[in-house]
Amino acid sequence: MNKKSNVSFMDKHKNLFIKVLYAIAVLIMFLGLFFSFYSIINHIAIPILSTSVHGMVLGLLVFYLGLRNYLSVSKLQKKLSLNTSKFLWQNFRKNIKEK
């Protein structure tokens, strides 16, 4: 019985962490869109090197990165939903191939 309650405890924590990651991804996308609209309304241009880039472009870039993050979280959720998924230190080792 203890193992079963431990499994449900871990599932609850996995779901909580996934929801937090989804919230962060949506927040990043929202901030990217907000900055884009703010830049359009207020005509914001940001000097980069020797040229001026409209703020909308940078806002869309932030939105794109948030969208990629959202898709990565959904991929992670699919992997964690499998019953065979478990924590292994081997997943964090660097794969260094010696010649």
- Greater confidence (97 vs 45) lies with 45
Whether 93 maps to a domain, the answer reads: no
Whether 96 maps to a domain, the answer reads: no
**8 pLDDT higher than 90:** no
CB 58 within 8 A of CB 34: no
What pLDDT is recorded for position 61? Answer: 95
- Kindly state the helix (H) or strand (E) to which residue 54 belongs, with its residue range: strand 51-54
What pLDDT is recorded for position 67? Answer: 96
Q: How many domains does the chain divide into?
A: 1
Structural domain of 31: 2-81
**97 pLDDT higher than 70:** no
Tell me how far apart the alpha carbons of residues 15 and 28 are, in angstroms, rounded to a whole number: 20
Whether 91 maps to a domain, the answer reads: no
